[in-house]
């Protein structure tokens, strides 16, 4: 059991007293108290919110132990000083730690240190009155066993309801905003933003529906910032019709005609479509005409709704109640995404409905916006940032795509997002095209939509897998230079849906923009991390947004580490670093020698493998990708002739890979086509983290009192496993130079290739072996032609280059 | 896609009008309307709650299609009649069915029939005004695609908030209560009931904490009924210390000394402990002194909290904030459980705190109580019913234990609840002993608690597995005769945690009590079914409780079928029956012939199997019970000498097993010990239901507007499997007569045994084979001694007797 808090703000004593007073822990009755016992009782009585009388309060005191032999009631009756040990014995209980499991009453400070909880300064064995005030301050800021600060746990019991309706500005504690806004009094309103585009070509600018939740206090003049989540899924999805479009991946790899294409030949330059004139405004109002009962919400946003932030969800072009067509990430979608930010900052109009042209302004907005959300949502945040739109102060892009080619393609191959073979840009467009869910609307645009889907299918070009103008239009790297918003990235090092290259290119692509950039790399797949026990993610984002959107000088940029990485070798361990995947990292070059990875020179050899499988084995692997994945790494005999495996000797010391591993091969194919896949493996039996977070307690994380809840989760240790895949990569042998130019591939001729595997941060423990598997068909990601191709590697002209982390 | 609604109440037209008026769909503006189009518009305008102006309303109309070519706006502008087809086209869209997937605009009535949705009476192709009123009534009562009636979906959008604070009695629709009570205005209070027992022997009657949620309207004189959930888990659990007590099951089966015990020798007669005098009351109040912010709630209760019911959670003896010790289901726990019912009906006092003896009465109670909850919670409901306590009108016992021997033991063997090898009564007592979570309280009783755990461990007697006085004290069958409450049972036919015998004995044990009994048998394991899409469980329970607790004459007892069973062969299919597992069912007797089950006579043979496995295989199965389970049924070669398998010929017709299958064997053991296990198998490749329900949409089921939510779930079809276990059973060969008398077992001597397998309701499809597997060690449930024992079956003196369902 270990807590990791990265968002605690160093606060001097004077400010501690001020904040304790503002939130009501110090008041005229206790601020001059000279008896530390009486002061402690006063703090406790303000915290035991469920006890409404002195009898119930005193009964509750008796349920805590202060020393190994005395309960808290007895202690307070008899002691003259507040001993540090007694204080932290009680603190640990208030924080829900368990004496039978987590600590001992005889050594509370030992447990505090072990769990990584802050112990307040003290000069002796007992707290002075001032030390006690400070200790109470830090206790309020400390995380409990179930993923919340003690103060937030009090909030969930109703501590801050006394502030409801009396607030004229956000209330802060330790640099973070507090839940003093009644979430049941939120104003929910819909507006239609007029976006400067006509993506459905109906001759009118697209109107885009936005769902707004803002504190009631805005009606009395409070200006608030906005957390904006652009989610194409939020108005519903077409799972069945999307599924029908899913492509068959049991198709052969095809020969591509060589060409001499240069980047300028396929570069996207925008379209020259003229945009219809804006609507003529018919008047203006401050009142919306439409509301909504329940948005499809992100629990991180829910947390901020009680803390004085407005939240907006907008689904964009081609979704229910909006105009336009889905495009899967092209510039039209980016224009759609930023339009609400332009409305919030007074640069675009919105209307109360789709008919009357009555304008409604964001008169309650403080003109500062952050974007939140994961996956496609985070992608659109990245896209929005790449426009440099003013008002967008920061994006929190979680598991975000930074180039759609890196999502659906790789190295001249169609490469599926992990778990979704056959998905592509056209499928995603259809799935998110929620205008279909309103048959009265859909009826009028059905044929145009069919054309649009076909155009996307043509553009994405599953035949070659090459980078082309379609993908260039969906590559945000090109506009990284425009990013002026601070960027907070979150990505899973085991995310094989949106692969880590997407975030690594963003991380390394904006280093010279002059913006602040932060990144958290966790051990999950494609998940949210805002309800984990072992890291104070909500607090970190609170500190961040309080600075970015409220302009509070809380030192967020200095306090939050640039890089926070979750350790892959033990649970609940997060470490801070200065950088990730730096070009300055040292490298180890391994040579390939028979089945080994060695650092000395090697003799001349070739090794071969084939790609074909008997039909039964093929069918089984095609159906059960997990079985294939296991058999591949386990070197199952069924795949003995279908792969080459190279391993280092057992490592003498821990080895941490930091960045992009490169594979260099001299290789031939027996045909005029060829694809290669690579996996880097950690071989060595060890307890590893569970693949998905374990659900610790359903609905146990309250965002505040009587409001929405989240499920507490954590990565825990699973049963020992003999290996784990670290990272992977793919290449079409006809794309040896780049992803758009097609090279000739002559059968049985050796070519040099270089493949950059997905970036990672991975610690191999001493005694483990680093392994490289070279194979062809990747049942989870590539096409599966089951073709009769033999690949031969000239091992002495091949190598593996591994960037390493050094402290 | 198929809906099953069992709680629709036939309602005559006059009552329909009355109810439509009460909920506001008919009012003085539209009740005399003669134009059906205008009336329909009026209904729609009252339903489109998000549209606040005529423009937004008209825009919304246009998003629906009324005919294959006309949207609803166009239709309402041009039509003179409301065609039945247009009405149901729109109805299907309002119910969230999808024209691309679920229905066609040219044949809406076909879809209504296929999905099993009610079509209102009509004489022509168009609705008259009266027919339209009735059609709207039935639409409101109809379930949508996401598990709610249309009216409840309107409630979740805020339809009933206009009634908040103006209610003096529950508001009904179609025999069920509506969510007209503001859940954010609930009063939350704690009382301490003085229970007539002293289970921790401290010389004082046990005080038991109860958490009460009641509508604010009770403050103005409304008397309300109570849903009471007795949950030992609700105040927290001791997972770690419980885990430490878990027993090793890799231990040998031991020889038991034969005895001549009769039931009277082991019968439990109660203890003669004297109970301390009640506390002297020091005064009385109507106001509680303690509150709580968030109870650990059952979402079914949450649903009723907005509907005018109070909800109480009480954890009972030995839990946090209460006195006493955990006992795991003995009469002390039953006394603890019913004490709150006695308080609610004025038969016992409660106090505002644990110190001052100030009495507080349940002055807001209408003195009618129902109990809810699953597993241990349902068990305590059954236990409470078996006391005949007055005021308890009904129990809804879900997945409930009816005799703890049937939970932790079977046939003279220690038999674990599925998935929990090594758990026992002592482990459960420790896990639920949440007084440990309050160290100040626990400190004073630690030693006594250690003694109590030891006493339970002694009493449960893992050495013999025999039924004894300890288990007799925990057998509610003995008191079934006292049950006067109506009993609503719910149980999973695949529940191997609380096995179906528990509910079958309750079902068949109270048939002569003169109470009403209902049962729903689903295809799940140990789960709740109140958030399923295909059955209207919440509505059923609403109809039931509205009758039982509010005394409304809504014909609940007649409308709700006695037996509702979920079909195991296809999703979303629930059927109604008169009885389950009746003694009158026809039977088929199969004889054992080599590897076959036959109905003709057979020749004399013996067949043998052993129990021992090589250590590697044993260790693997001990660690991976699922692998063992699969290999057993798949007849994997590793188990070839460890089992006998008998199968029928492929069935000529479907065969439905209804009740308790019996296995009769003539068998010998090579040792003076022996245990036999049996599994009945459905052999035949078919798509079967998923083992656990599929999560369809997280948090999508709103209990009412801006209130708690549940996850929508459903059993779906999984990939085809070659077999499925139907039911199982176990016997210690030294308990051939009964569970308490130990018989001699001579090595290699043949004995006749009869084993009743767990009751079931299971349909085998035509072409499938019914199979019986005879084996010894059950890796998931029995002890695992890996002993060298050989079992021999005299097959010609053995048989399988199968009760069958005939329409």
Contacts of A550 (CB under 8 A, 6+ apart): A170, A177, A225, A366, A368
- State the Cα–Cα distance between residues A101 and A93, nearest whole angstrom: 12
pLDDT band at A453 (very low <50, low <70, confident <90, very high): very high
8 Å CB contact between B785 and B251:
yes
**B353–A438: do the CB atoms touch at under 8 Å?**
no
What pLDDT does residue A273 have?
Answer: 85
- State the Cα–Cα distance between residues A328 and A430, nearest whole angstrom: 9
B269 is catalytic: no
Q: B485 lies in a domain? A: no
**B291–A52: do the CB atoms touch at under 8 Å?**
yes
The structure tokens listed for A428 are 């995603």
Q: Measure CA B401 to chain center.
A: 11
Catalytic residue among B522, B526, B547, B730: B526
Residue ranges of B 596-655 with Cβ closer than 8 A to chain A: none
Suggest the residue from B67, B353, B437 to mutate for an interface test with chain A (most A CBs closer than 10 A). Answer: B353
Token pair 């005030």 is found at: A133
Contacts of A440 in chain B (CB under 8 A): 61-65, 71-73
What pLDDT does residue B100 have?
Answer: 86
pLDDT at B807 over 80: no
- State the Cα–Cα distance between residues A485 and A390, nearest whole angstrom: 9
**B353–A53: do the CB atoms touch at under 8 Å?**
yes
Contacts of A107 (CB under 8 A, 6+ apart): none
Contacts of A1 in chain B (CB under 8 A): none
Catalytic residue among B231, B322, B375, B668: B375
What's the domain range around B79? 13-177
Min distance A648 CA to chain B CA atoms (Å): 30
pLDDT digits (tens, 9 = 90+) for A90-137: 999 999 999 989 999 999 999 999 999 999 999 999 999 999 999 999
Angle formed at CA A367 by CA A400 and CA A355, multiple of 5 degrees? 85
pLDDT at A150 over 90: yes
Query: Considering its fold, how many domains does chain A have in total?
Result: 1
- State the Cα–Cα distance between residues B426 and B433, nearest whole angstrom: 10
Token pair 């390394």 is found at: A508
Among residues A65, A132, A72, A47, the alpha carbon closest in space to that of A103 is found at: A65
* Other CB atoms within 10 Å distance of the CB of residue B649: 11
**A706–B293: do the CB atoms touch at under 8 Å?**
yes
**A51–B289: do the CB atoms touch at under 8 Å?**
yes
| Candidate from B72, B105, B290 with C-beta closest to A52 | B290
A292 touches chain B (CB under 8 A): yes
**A355–B59: do the CB atoms touch at under 8 Å?**
yes
State how far the alpha carbon of A12 is from the alpha carbons of A134, A143, A174, A213, in Å.
9, 20, 10, 36
Residue ranges of A 120-159 with Cβ closer than 8 A to chain B: 156-158
- State the Cα–Cα distance between residues B716 and A322, nearest whole angstrom: 33
Contacts of B354 in chain A (CB under 8 A): 59
Average confidence score pLDDT of chain B: 97
| Candidate from A56, A98, A105 with C-beta closest to B290 | A56
Q: Does residue A549 sit in helix, strand or coil? A: helix
Q: B136 lies in a domain? A: yes
pLDDT band at A644 (very low <50, low <70, confident <90, very high): very high
Suggest the residue from B294, B435, B440 to mutate for an interface test with chain A (most A CBs closer than 10 A). Answer: B440
Contacts of A354 in chain B (CB under 8 A): 59
pLDDT digits (tens, 9 = 90+) for A743-791: 999 999 999 999 999 999 999 999 999 999 999 999 999 999 999 999 9
Angle formed at CA B605 by CA B603 and CA B611, multiple of 5 degrees? 150
What pLDDT does residue A580 have?
Answer: 98
Q: B133 lies in a domain? A: yes
Among residues A252, A525, A616, A563, the alpha carbon closest in space to that of A414 is found at: A252
Contacts of A355 in chain B (CB under 8 A): 55, 58-59
* Other CB atoms within 10 Å distance of the CB of residue A594: 12
Among residues A564, A388, A419, the alpha carbon closest in space to that of A490 is found at: A564
A336 is catalytic: no
Average pLDDT over residues A168-190: 97
The structure tokens listed for A531 are 């309800």
Angle formed at CA B275 by CA B269 and CA B280, multiple of 5 degrees? 155
Contacts of B439 in chain A (CB under 8 A): 63-65, 71, 93, 99, 105
Average pLDDT over residues B313-331: 98
Residue ranges of B 221-250 with Cβ closer than 8 A to chain A: 238, 240-241
What pLDDT does residue B9 have?
Answer: 98
| Candidate from A98, A158, A440 with C-beta closest to B72 | A440
**B439–A65: do the CB atoms touch at under 8 Å?**
yes
**A59–B354: do the CB atoms touch at under 8 Å?**
yes
Task: Point out which residues pair with B793 in neighbouring strands.
Answer: B607, B667
Token pair 């979680």 is found at: A398
Min distance B707 CA to chain A CA atoms (Å): 8
8 Å CB contact between A55 and B355:
yes
Contacts of A53 in chain B (CB under 8 A): 289-290, 352-353
pLDDT band at B1 (very low <50, low <70, confident <90, very high): confident
| Candidate from B100, B241, B289 with C-beta closest to A241 | B100
Nearest residue in A to B68, CA atom: A443
Q: B164 lies in a domain? A: yes
Q: A137 lies in a domain? A: yes
**A355–B55: do the CB atoms touch at under 8 Å?**
yes
B702 touches chain A (CB under 8 A): yes
8 Å CB contact between A676 and A757:
no
Average pLDDT over residues B533-555: 98
- State the Cα–Cα distance between residues A614 and A624, nearest whole angstrom: 15
Average confidence score pLDDT of chain A: 97
**B65–A356: do the CB atoms touch at under 8 Å?**
no
What pLDDT does residue A100 have?
Answer: 86
pLDDT digits (tens, 9 = 90+) for B339-373: 999 999 999 999 999 999 999 999 999 999 999 99
pLDDT at A272 over 90: no
Average pLDDT over residues B168-181: 97
Among residues A449, A453, A427, the alpha carbon closest in space to that of A438 is found at: A449
**B158–A293: do the CB atoms touch at under 8 Å?**
yes
B522 is catalytic: no
A293 touches chain B (CB under 8 A): yes
Catalytic residue among A375, A434, A668, A799: A375
Q: B85 lies in a domain? A: yes
pLDDT at A514 over 80: yes
What pLDDT does residue B151 have?
Answer: 98
What ipTM score was computed for the predicted complex, to two decimals? 0.95
Strand bridging mode A486-492 / A517-522: parallel
Percentage of residues of chain B with pLDDT beyond 90 = 99
- State the Cα–Cα distance between residues B776 and B253, nearest whole angstrom: 11
Q: Does residue A593 sit in helix, strand or coil? A: strand
pLDDT digits (tens, 9 = 90+) for B236-275: 999 999 999 999 999 999 999 999 999 999 999 998 889 9
Sign of CA dihedral B756, B757, B761, B764: negative
* Other CB atoms within 10 Å distance of the CB of residue A651: 16
Among residues A683, A690, A695, the alpha carbon closest in space to that of A773 is found at: A683
Task: Point out which residues pair with B126 in neighbouring strands.
Answer: B83
Average pLDDT over residues B542-560: 98
- State the Cα–Cα distance between residues B397 and B384, nearest whole angstrom: 11
- State the Cα–Cα distance between residues B394 and B673, nearest whole angstrom: 45
| Candidate from A53, A290, A355 with C-beta closest to B50 | A290
**B439–A63: do the CB atoms touch at under 8 Å?**
yes
Rg of chain B on CA atoms, in Å: 29
Q: Does residue B610 sit in helix, strand or coil? A: strand
A555 touches chain B (CB under 8 A): no
| Candidate from B49, B71, B436 with C-beta closest to A100 | B436
**How many CB contacts within 8 angstroms connect chain A with chain B?**
144
Q: What is the DSSP-derived secondary structure letter of residue B84?
A: H
8 Å CB contact between B651 and B767:
yes
Residue ranges of A 84-123 with Cβ closer than 8 A to chain B: 93, 98-101, 105
Suggest the residue from A59, A64, A187 to mutate for an interface test with chain B (most B CBs closer than 10 A). Answer: A59
Q: A231 lies in a domain? A: no
| Candidate from A50, A240, A438 with C-beta closest to B291 | A50
Q: B162 lies in a domain? A: yes
pLDDT at A1 over 90: no
Among residues B277, B282, B281, B283, the alpha carbon closest in space to that of B205 is found at: B277
**B293–A354: do the CB atoms touch at under 8 Å?**
no
**B240–A294: do the CB atoms touch at under 8 Å?**
no
Residue ranges of A 384-443 with Cβ closer than 8 A to chain B: 436-441, 443
Residue ranges of B 347-386 with Cβ closer than 8 A to chain A: 352-356
Contacts of B514 (CB under 8 A, 6+ apart): none
């Amino acid at each position: 059991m270990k807590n990791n808090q990265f968002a605690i703000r160093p606060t001097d004593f004077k400010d501690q007293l001020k904040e304790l007073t503002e939130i009501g822990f110090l008041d005229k009755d206790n601020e001059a108290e000279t008896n530390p016992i009486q002061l402690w009782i006063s703090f406790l009585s303000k915290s035991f919110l469920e006890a409404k009388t002195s009898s119930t309060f005193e009964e509750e005191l008796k349920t805590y132990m202060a020393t190994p032999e005395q309960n808290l009631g007895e202690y307070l009756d008899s002691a003259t000083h507040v001993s540090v040990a007694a204080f932290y014995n009680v603190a640990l209980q208030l924080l829900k730690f368990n004496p039978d499991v987590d600590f001992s009453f005889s050594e509370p400070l030992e447990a505090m240190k072990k769990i990584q909880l802050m112990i307040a300064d003290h000069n002796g064995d007992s707290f002075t009155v001032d030390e006690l005030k400070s200790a109470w301050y830090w206790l309020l800021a400390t995380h409990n066993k179930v993923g919340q600060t003690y103060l937030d746990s009090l909030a969930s019991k109703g501590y801050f309801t006394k502030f409801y309706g009396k607030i004229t500005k956000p209330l802060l504690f330790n640099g973070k905003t507090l839940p003093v806004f009644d979430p049941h009094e939120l104003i929910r309103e819909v507006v239609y933003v007029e976006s400067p585009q006509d993506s459905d070509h109906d001759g009118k600018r697209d109107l885009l529906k936005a769902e707004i939740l803002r504190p009631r206090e805005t009606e009395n003049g409070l200006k608030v910032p906005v957390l904006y989540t652009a989610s194409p899924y939020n108005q519903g999805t077409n799972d069945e019709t999307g599924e029908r479009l899913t492509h068959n991946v049991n198709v052969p790899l095809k020969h591509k005609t060589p060409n001499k294409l240069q980047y300028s030949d396929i570069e996207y330059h925008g379209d020259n479509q003229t945009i219809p004139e804006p609507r003529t405004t018919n008047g203006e109002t401050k009142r919306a005409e439409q509301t909504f009962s329940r948005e499809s919400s992100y629990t991180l946003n829910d947390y901020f709704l009680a803390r004085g932030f407005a939240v907006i969800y907008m689904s964009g072009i081609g979704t229910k109640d909006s105009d336009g067509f889905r495009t899967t990430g092209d510039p039209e979608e980016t224009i759609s995404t930023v339009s609400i930010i332009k409305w919030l900052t007074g640069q675009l109009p919105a209307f109360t409905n789709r008919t009357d042209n009555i304008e409604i302004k964001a008169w309650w907005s403080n003109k500062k916006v952050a974007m939140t959300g994961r996956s496609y949502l985070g992608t659109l945040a990245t896209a929005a940032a790449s426009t440099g739109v003013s008002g967008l102060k920061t994006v929190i892009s979680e598991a975000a795509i930074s180039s759609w080619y890196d999502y659906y393609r790789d190295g001249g191959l169609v490469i599926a997002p992990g778990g979704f073979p056959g998905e592509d840009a056209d499928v995603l467009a259809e799935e998110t095209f929620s205008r279909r869910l309103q048959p009265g609307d859909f009826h009028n645009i059905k044929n145009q939509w069919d054309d649009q889907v076909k155009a996307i299918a043509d553009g994405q070009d599953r035949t070659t897998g090459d980078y082309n103008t379609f993908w260039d239009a969906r590559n945000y790297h090109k506009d990284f230079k425009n990013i002026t918003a601070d960027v907070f990235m979150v990505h899973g090092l085991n995310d094989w849906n949106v692969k880590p290259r997407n975030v690594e290119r963003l991380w390394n692509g904006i280093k010279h923009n002059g913006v602040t950039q932060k990144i958290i790399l966790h051990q999950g797949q494609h998940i949210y991390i805002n309800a984990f026990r072992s890291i104070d993610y909500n607090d970190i984002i609170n500190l961040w947004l309080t600075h970015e959107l409220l302009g509070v000088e809380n030192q967020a940029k200095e306090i939050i580490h640039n890089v926070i990485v979750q350790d892959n070798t033990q649970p609940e361990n997060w470490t801070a670093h200065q950088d990730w995947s730096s070009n300055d990292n040292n490298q180890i070059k391994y040579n390939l020698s028979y089945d080994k990875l060695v650092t000395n020179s090697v003799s001349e050899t070739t090794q071969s493998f084939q790609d074909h499988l008997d039909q039964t084995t093929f069918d089984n692997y095609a159906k059960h990708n997990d079985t294939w994945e296991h058999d591949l790494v386990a070197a199952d005999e069924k795949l003995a002739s279908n792969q080459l495996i190279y391993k280092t000797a057992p490592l003498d010391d821990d080895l941490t890979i930091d960045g992009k591993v490169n594979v260099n091969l001299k290789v031939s194919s027996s045909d005029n086509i060829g694809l290669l896949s690579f996996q880097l493996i950690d071989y060595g039996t060890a307890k590893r983290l569970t693949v998905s977070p374990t659900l610790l307690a359903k609905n146990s994380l309250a965002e505040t009192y009587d409001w929405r809840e989240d499920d507490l989760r954590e990565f825990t240790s699973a049963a020992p496993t003999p290996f784990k895949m670290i990272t992977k990569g793919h290449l079409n042998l006809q794309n040896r130079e780049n992803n758009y130019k097609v090279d000739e591939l002559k059968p049985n001729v050796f070519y040099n290739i270089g493949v950059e595997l997905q970036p990672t941060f991975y610690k191999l423990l001493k005694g483990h072996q680093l392994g490289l598997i070279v194979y062809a068909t990747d049942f989870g990601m590539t096409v599966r032609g089951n073709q009769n191709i033999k690949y031969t590697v000239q091992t002495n002209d091949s190598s593996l280059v591994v960037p390493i982390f050094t402290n």
